[in-house]
Each structure stands twice: as C-alpha cells, then as structure tokens.
Amino acid sequence: MTELLDPITSTDVLLTQEEVLNDYRIACESREVSYIGRQDVFRGRAKFGVFGDGKELAQLAMSKVFRKGDFRSGYYRDQTFLAAIGGLTWQQFFAQLYAHTDIAHDPFTGGRSMNAHYGNHWVDEKGEWLDQTELYNTVCDVSSTAGQMPRAVGLAYASKLFRQNADLQELTKFSHNGNEVCFATIGDASTSQGMFFEAINAAGVLQVPLIFSVWDDGFGISVPIEYQTTKSSISEALAGFQRKDGSNGLEIIVARGWNYVELVEAYQRAARYARDQHVPVLVHVIEVTQPQGHSTSGSHERYKSKDRLAFEHEFDCNVHFRRWILANDYGSEQELKEIEARAKDLAKKSRNTAWTAYRDSLKTEYEQAIVLLKNATSESKNAKAIAEIRDILEKTENAVRRDVVSAMKKAIRLLRFEEISSKKGILTWFKEIAPENYIRFNSHLLSEYPTSPMNVKGVAPSYSDNSLMVDGREIINTYFDNLLVNDPRVFALGEDVGKIGDVNQGFAGLQEKHGELRVTDAGIRETTIIGQGIGAAMRGLRPIVEIQYFDYIYYALATLTDDLASLRYRTVGKQLAPLIIRTRGHRLEGIWHSGSPMSAMLGSLRGIHVLVPRNFVQAAGFYNTILRGDDPALIIECLNGYRIKEKMPNNLSEICLPLGIPETLKEGTDLTIVTYGSMCRIIMESATQLEEIGISVEVIDVQSLLPFDINHKILESIKKTNRVIFADEDVPGGGSAFMMQQVIDEQNAYRWLDSAPKAISAQAHRPAYASDGDYFSKPNAETIFDAVYEMMHEVKPLVFPSLY
C-alpha cells in the first residue's frame, strides 16, 4: 500500500473548474446510488446488487478519452463511466436493479440481466444498423469473469481492418478510418482467467487499438491478490509484454485509483497510443478501494484486516478528490457541500421514481387478479380456499408477476369441476397475459426482424450438361473465392487458414489472391479467434472464423454460450453479432479428432443456428443464407467429405438453403430414418442393403438442428411408415435423443407409431484410433441394418426371422 506522501498539488493536465466540479458531481451521485442500491437489496426490493463504489475517479478519467464510435467491453462495475458519457441515468440504474421489464425504463436489458449490465442500441425497429460512429458504444456486459475479453480483441481488430482495408471505406456507419478504440475493463482477480491472458497475447500480436483497464482492489471476493497473481501485480507479471524498439507487444501504464490527475494523464497517454498508433495498452489502476465490499452477498469486514479496512477508508478516491479540489482552489467547501447535497437528493429521487414506475408496471395484472379471485369467491363451491389464496396474495409485500400467476393457477385448480363465469374470466386472463409475458421474458433469442435468416427464401442449385464432378473441397474453395470477391465485409480467420488455405484446402490459394487481411492465419487460441469474430461482427463486418476441428470448440465454448449465444436475448434484440463459426467434424479417427459433440452444442448454443450440411453444395447454401441474415451460426462441414465428388452448380453464389427444412433423400414405406451430416451416406448404404431383402426405408436428412424441422416434415413421413429411428454419431442421449424429443414430444408423432421409436448413437466413450476404432465406436452400415431389421422382425417375425 502506498502511503500518502505525495499528495497532488500541481499538474500539467489542463482541467477547467467546470470540468472538475462536474466530475465531482458525477462521482458523488455514483457513490450515493451505490449506497442506496445496497440498502434496497437488503430491504427486499431487489434480488442482488453489485456496485462501482471506489472506482469513480478511474472511470471518470477513462470517460474523458472515450469518443463517439468507440466501444466499451466491460465489467459490471462501470456505472460511473456510463453516467459520465451520458449512457446511463440513475433512474435507469435503479430500474435495472428492480428488473423492470419495460425497455423504456431499463433500455439495456429489459430486466433480463442483473444490475450494472449496460449496453446501447445498435439497430432500429426494423433490425437495421444504426450509425455506430455517432454513438458511445458499449457491449452489454457478461457476468462470467473475463468473459468480456475475447470480444474486445475483435472490436479493436475491426478498427485495424477498417484502417488498412481500403475496400471497407464505404462502410461509414461503422468506422472513420479505424480511429475507434475499444476500452476493456476488468477486475484484478479476473485477470487470472485464461481468457484475459489469451486476449493480452492476441492484442500484442495483432497490434490493435485496445485499452485494458484493470481495477485492482487487491481481492477477488475474499481471496487476496497474493493468491491470484504472480508478484501480486498484473502489470509486473506482464512486464515481458512491454513494447521495445522494433518489437510488438503493448504499453503498460500504472496509476493509483485515488489520484485524479495521475489517472487523467494515464488515460490521455493510453488513448494516444491506441487511437493514433494502434498499439494496445494495459492501464493497471492500483490501490483501488471497495467501500461496500464485493456485493450484497456479504460483508468485506469478514475477510479484510483492520489495516486494510483503515487503508480503504483513508484512500477512498472520492475523499481524496474532495481534498484535492479544495487544495487547488477548484471549488470551495460550500460549493462541494451543495454538490453533495444535490447528489443525495438526485439519488433518492431517481430511486423513488424508478421504484414507483416498476410497481406501477405490475399493478394492472395484480389488480385484475384480485378482482377475478373476488368474483370466484362469490361464485365457487371452493370459496373459502380461493379467499385464502386471495388473502395471501394481498398480504404479499411487493408482489411480483410470479406471485400473481402462481395464485391464479392455484385457483384454477380448485375450479376444475365448475363451469362458472369467474372461471371463464380467469382463463381469459391467462390467455391475455401469456403473449405479454413471452415478450417480457422469452423473446429475441434469435432475430425477430425482417432481416432474420429465417426469412431467406430457398434457391436450389442449378446444373447443366457441362457441370463437372469435382471434389467437395473444390466446391467450397470456389464458393469462398466468389464470396471474397463479391462482399468486402467478409474475411476468414483461423489456424492454418491463410498460407496453406486451411487443413482441408477450403481456402487454398485465397490468401495469395485476396491478401492477408481477408484470409488470415491465427495462432492456436480458439477463444480469441471466436472473440475476434464476435467483435468484428458487432461492427458490421461478416467474419467467418474457423475452429480447425469440431473437438476444439470446447476451448471457446464459454465465450460462445455466455456471450454470443445470449447477446440478442440479453439486449432484447438491440445488439447483434452475425458471426459464422466454421468447423469440420464427424467421421475421422481418434479421441480428439472425431468430433460429433452435438449434445454439447444443442445444450449450450441456443441463440446460434446449428447447421449440419452433408455435402459442400449444401454448405454453400447455408453460408449464403446466413450471410443474407443477421444471426450467428455454427456450420459443421463433413470432415470426410472434402474428397468426395460432387457436381459443381452453375449458381454456386446464389444457392440458399432454408433453415429448419429437412430433405428426403430416399422415399420408403416401412420405416423412417432421421439423420444428418456424414451419417447420411452410411444410412443410404444401409438403406440399399435393406432394400435387397425387402425392407423399404425412408431416409431424411434434417440438414439443420437449430432450428429443427419447422414444418414437421418428419411427422408426415412417420404418418406413412409408422416407425422411426433417429441416428447420429454423438454420444448416447445426445443428438439422436434431441431429434427424438423434437419429433415425438414436440410434433406428437407418438400417435402414429406402431413400434417403439429408437435412437442410434455412438458409444459413450470417444472413438478409438484407426479404422477399427471408428467402426466399433460409432454407428456403421451394419449397426443401422441390424437395428432396422430387428424392428421389422418384431412386426413380421416370419418374413424377417431373427438374425442372431
């Protein structure tokens, strides 16, 4: 801890009295809302609270160099910064704390995220991009520690592309010559996460305008920094990343969180490096205090020593700021007292206004429910029980929608044998509130605008007598070549994508033709490869980022699920990142290269389209569809399909494959098999063998798993065959079980089945190496044949006697 031996007495930083007093006003207001917010959690008005007290001066200093067009990729304690740039009112601060679902009150997340998760709107009511260069941009925060770091690399990388790629100059809604800086903020304990280190390394390699701000208060909840960070200092630990003559790397600046001028100077230096030179910067803000502790979940007195608590009291940044203002004649004691009094008054008024508005938003449904329950009490044979339900609801302090709906559902159970007008009233009430609550809590998982890829119409491939049979890799290579020619927003990024054109030659020769900015190699860093794509997609570009093998996606899964997949949902449709993740999987050989982990994707990537083309004409169709829309997608190419021959379409760049529409590969009458990807060829081989012994199989390729069979085409097949098998090469209970649930449960196909449905999957373990390992680990033609035959044996044992 630094002793107060060098109080600030002079400065070369030019600060006007008006600016200094305005900063003090914001600092006081921010501190007051932190205090009141914590009180409201303890009073039961909010579920949880995390606040930015102690970080006011650092964030004010950062706000001074933040310009329109810049981006903040942040940390859930940046309330002072948001207020300083005009991105947050204190009424909105409290509205989010109370989970007000009206986006007019909580414009950041519509009550979906806990407090201190902020973001501005990037699209209009039609889903069209707004002009980001006229906005102070902030990406909606994520609570996962260091989860904001990967995308920060991409937000800054986009500036590099806008500055260096002349073909992007016309995209004036997104950049002015790449002058935009990304400001990433993080707590010191979270710098222990791998995402942070990977982002630091990527930024140093790429040389992008990214300023990392580390708010260092010495603890990660209760765990002190000596357990967190080598040398107990992230700036010292990262000293080897410091730029030197002729090397890349980053600039490292250290400033004390209570020293106003030191902080202002630090951020002015950082911004010059980042904005002018595209050099990344680490600003390590040390000696930060946290007056209220980590959050409302506990008290920091439990784990901080008396000396540390005394330090935090002595070095409170607002206290120091006040002393400095008085010592340097920027304001008088009376002026500061007036500012403090007005800050307290504004904080209380903002809290009261937000609370009243929140309670008023619940009043209509609540009052309707009370009236309906009273009516039921006067009519029902169960009047006493219903009266008790009403009485409990009326006595519930600060009742929320859950309380109201729960009470009404309990009442309707009591009325199940009665046909009275009040029951009809309750049922009507349920029908009326259901769509409203869907909008409040369940909408915008994916795009609901006219720009959605779900609105893209199908365009079938066309062929001529001159169409050549070529390897699948040639199809996708030709497709990407045409795409790079026709759309300057597109770039490809990944391990081995550039110089050698990816490990399966999809981009062979395209770096040489289109340049390194368009087809780019990346280091082995899947998390920030995805982050580069997310950030660039947030800025109007259309990246295609590659995970070299499907198995490697686990490295980036946290970023995909916590950030990308939830982005639209947590911003109520106001932010987007239409990223394409390209990978290859399914049949190969070995534990780490046989990738079909579909269940992990289906369980964690809701909010991203998951597409599984069986060949490369289909893949091209999916790429086109997604690029014509505004949602992210994971496209999994068949690893063993690159050298399988396909016919080259005449309209490769125009093909569009609609999402959620299966294709029937073979008509049949006895049994339906539902599958996708590389399994299609295996199923078709089995179908041919089954046909030889008199079993007619209908084969359906679902083509996309998310969305899945939106028109219930599989149901129509089952109505004809009355039997179904779902087959894939994921683990048991994975992709095949998902397909079964969708068809049997969602489509009610059980009504048409004459035999029990069956799911065929791989073994529970990962595949063993070599051809025999694949054969005995994953479904093969014989596996499918035997399963179908056994089902037909149950139906016609004389025609199909037991084989084994």
Catalytic residue numbers, as ranges:
593
Q: Give the separation between CA 34 and CA 79, rounded to whole angstroms.
A: 9
Q: Is 584 helix (H, G, I), strand (E, B) or coil?
A: strand
Collapsed DSSP state (helix, strand, coil) of residue 140: coil
d(CA 286, CA 216): 5
In whole angstroms, what is the distance from residue 730 CA to residue 727 CA?
9
Half-sphere exposure of 766 (CA within 13 A, CB side): 11
Backbone φ/ψ region at 496: left (φ over 0), alpha (ψ -120 to 50), beta:
left
The answer to whether 193 touches 144, Cβ cutoff 8 Å, is: no
* Contact (CB, 8 A) for 58 and 213: yes
How many other C-beta atoms lie within 10 A of the C-beta of residue 168? Answer: 22
Cα–Cα distances (Å) from 457 to 452, 560, 611, 655, 780, in that order, read 11, 27, 16, 10, 35
For residues 142 and 562, the answer to whether their CB atoms sit within 8 Å is yes
Residue type present at position 20: V
- If residue 663 lies in a helix (H) or strand (E), which one and from where to where? strand 663-666
List of residues 6+ apart from 712 with CB closer than 8 A: 747
**Amino acid letter for position 264:** V
Residue 102 CA from chain centroid, whole number:
21
The position carrying tokens 């998982």 is 445
Contact 536, 168 (CB under 8 A): no
Strands in 676-764 per DSSP E: 697-701, 704-706, 724-727, 758-760
Cα 785 to the center of its chain, rounded Å = 41
Distances in whole angstroms, Cα of residue 481 to Cα of each of 477, 490, 507, 635, 766? 6, 11, 8, 18, 35
Residue 613 three-state SS? coil
> Strand ranges (DSSP E) for 17-145?
71-73, 137-139
Cα angle: 40, vertex 43, 49; to 5 degrees: 40
Check if the beta carbon of residue 479 is closer than 8 Å to that of residue 653: yes
Q: Return d(Cα 641, Cα 475) in angstroms, integer.
A: 11
Phi, psi of 354 (to 5 degrees): -65, -40
Distance CA 252, CA 198 (A): 17
Signed CA dihedral, 682, 733, 611, 475: sign only: negative
Query: Residue holding tokens 């994520």?
Result: 142
CA distance 403 to 372: 15
